Amino acid sequence: MDLSYGAEYEAFREEVRGFILANWSPAHARDTERVAAFRLQATEAGYLYRSIPRRFGGSEQPADVLRAQVIQEEFSRARAPMEVVGNGVRMLVPTLLECGAEWQKEKFVPPTVRGEVDWAQGYSEPGSGSDLASVRTRGELVGDEWVINGQKIWTSRAHLCRYMFALVRTEPEAPKHQGISYLLLDLDQPGVTIRPLKQVTGQSEFNEVFFDDARTPADWIVGQRGEGWQVSRSTLKHERTGIGNAETYLVQFSKLLGVARSATKNGRPAIEDPVVQDRLAEIEGYLQSHKYSTYRQLSMNLAGKDPGPVTTMNKLVVTNLGHQIAALAQDLIGDDSLLLPVYGRDRKVGNERWMNQFFGSLGVAIAGGTSNIQRNIIGERGYGLPRDNVVPGGKASPDRKGGDGS
């Protein structure tokens, strides 16, 4: 058992620390220009966009899980900006690099990684959530354009995004999974109506998007006609692995300790209360388990070994962690939880900001495959339990492989 990263990686860690120290201060966090400039520097130095070729705006580094881990640890610790957050970088870029045409990579990847354009993910529809492959939004090739009609929903930040990548049914006669194409489109056009949905938080982060003869060029398709389902698989995979990160929850837990120190119970700091300590220690048990579970998965990946069923559990595990942290935080902040947290970076926010974490934890339980879908995946892929019954005939395709619609 060797938990050290070894001399080579510790030297690398020093290098990363030195870089951050020289180029970043948390005081710059709200200065978008400085953030963008820092990202460029960090990319130049080989720390960000490591798997993206230089000609597309990446740093084109050899795959090295440990270096990536060190970078993530050091950037998180210093609260330095990492890659642009959003569906563009997280989902579309890897998809384009894997399946896109050369011109598509040239046109779309560089501005996306620079954070100049953002992408909405046009997947879910009112009738297609967990059963994503049942999408009904239609695309017809008319001349040299796709003409799109239908509706998407839960499209995060669509009202702020320039483009969308979407699953669209272009082959209505084909079986469910073979009738979908992966199209790119400009949201800034008359055929597209975006209606923000007001969320439980009171904020509007996601939207309904209506297509009424919306148009996109014939060659704005990734992969071939009818291959959209397979093309989209790589992005879903990215979304699922992206959420299973212990660092986020280690930081959340240390903030929770901060609340427990400042809150009082029976006239004493809540952190000294035996019940609070017991609950903190319970969460710590899950948190440290997940931390060492990720170390183990990392080590086994490095050695080319299969970590087993645990890889199917990461999302459910962090969902549960977020839920436990939210529950204790609410008890610690007491009646501050009756307040609606105000948004906007310049407003003064009190303890009720933990209600954002509470609502966020509910969002994590849904986004990227609900917890019940995760349980299907664990049972079916992890432990070989029979797949859920799929209604035969109709739109259900006989090649359906799992309860998650893959």
According to the binding rule CB under 8 A, does residue 63 interact with other proteins?
no
According to the binding rule CB under 8 A, does residue 316 interact with other proteins?
yes
Type and span of the H or E element at 232: helix 228-243
Question: Does 8 qualify as catalytic in the annotation?
Answer: no
Name the CA radius of gyration of the chain, rounded: 23
Indicate the residue among 26 and 190 with the shorter CB distance to other proteins.
26
At CA 123, angle to CA 382 and CA 133, rounded to 5? Answer: 55
Beta strand pairing status for 119-122 and 163-169? parallel
Residue 186: alpha-carbon gap to chain centroid: 22
The residues, ordered by sequence, that sit 6+ positions from 403 with a Cβ below 8 Å of its Cβ are 373, 376, 377, 380, 387, 388
Residues 348-387 that bind other proteins (CB under 8 A): 372, 374-376, 378-380, 382-387
Report whether 122 contacts 146 (CB < 8 A). Answer: no
Q: Measure the CA–CA gap between 70 and 81, rounded to whole angstroms.
A: 15
Read off the tokens for 85: 């957050």
Total binding residues toward other proteins, as defined by CB under 8 A:
62
Residues 281-300 that bind other proteins (CB under 8 A): 281-282, 284-286, 288-293, 295-296, 298-300
User: Could you tell me which stretch among 158-166, 223-231, 233-241, 314-322 binds other proteins (CB under 8 A)?
Assistant: 314-322
Indicate the residue among 116 and 282 with the shorter CB distance to other proteins.
282
Indicate the residue among 315 and 353 with the shorter CB distance to other proteins.
315
Report whether 156 contacts 92 (CB < 8 A). Answer: no
Indicate the residue among 217 and 258 with the shorter CB distance to other proteins.
258
Indicate the residue among 164 and 280 with the shorter CB distance to other proteins.
280
Binding site for other proteins (CB under 8 A): 1-6, 9, 66, 69, 254, 257-258, 260-261, 269, 271-272, 274, 277-278, 280-282, 284-286, 288-293, 295-296, 298-300, 302-303, 305, 308-310, 313, 316-317, 320, 372, 374-376, 378-380, 382-389
User: Which residues are tagged catalytic?
Assistant: 239
